[in-house]
Amino acid sequence: MFRPTEDDLVLPVEHSFWPFFFASTLSVKLLHSVIAFSLESLADKSQLIFVYPEEGCSCQPTIDELALVFPINGRGQRKIYDNPHAIPIPHDIWRSVVGFHLRKKQYPNRLVTVLYPIWGRSRQLRISIANLHAMDFNLPESEMAQLVRKSAHHEILCAQFWNIKHFGFIRVFLMIEQGTTVQLSKNIIISCSKDGILEASVQQLN
């Protein structure tokens, strides 16, 4: 079992992350004393897992345990939470998450990133200068191959292409350093203010 420590950097999360995450197709499972939500991208060979421990739980699943119960393209309940009241976590609790301890591991068929939540800040916690964000870009699937996965100021954790009724867009979950501007591709430039506010400039393809 994984035990987060106060020595880990805490990655602050923006409120905009949650609508994008829960509006994605998620696999949901109960493991030990946590509910775990897995978002996977076959095209991107990446997986993003958010674990929610019950109150008083000091032990949480390790990244290996989670990767085992959430095989990419595995079976299990898949859900899009169009109604926020249907999310199996009290609304005020997940909205009060201030950041995450983050764990990543490269497996032969995917990169798995696990988000362990933090609800309150203290002087003992070391806060990262990067923030966790999510954004949609109205670009074709071909743009997925052009995305710059990592730079000195950002890292894409998971990217998906959505195609709904002839409308396609790319959804990206990423860490980006505050006060920086990053070119995700030749058509996407994003800037993160020192307050963590994200702005994007997208060149639409003809």
Per-residue pLDDT of the chain (206 residues; tens, 9 = 90+): 556 665 678 888 888 899 899 888 899 888 877 889 999 988 888 999 999 887 656 678 999 999 999 988 765 557 778 777 788 887 777 778 888 989 999 999 999 999 998 887 666 678 888 999 999 998 888 889 999 999 999 999 999 988 766 668 899 999 999 999 999 998 999 999 888 888 888 877 65
pTM, two decimals, is 0.88
Cβ neighbors of 149 (< 8 A, separation 6 or more) are 155, 156
Q: What is the DSSP letter of 128?
A: P
3-class DSSP state of 190: strand
Q: Where are the domains of the chain?
A: 9-127, 130-202
Please answer whether residues 46 and 73 qualify as being in contact, where contact means their C-beta atoms are separated by less than 8 angstroms: no
Spatial CA neighbour of 112 closest among 143, 68, 176? 68
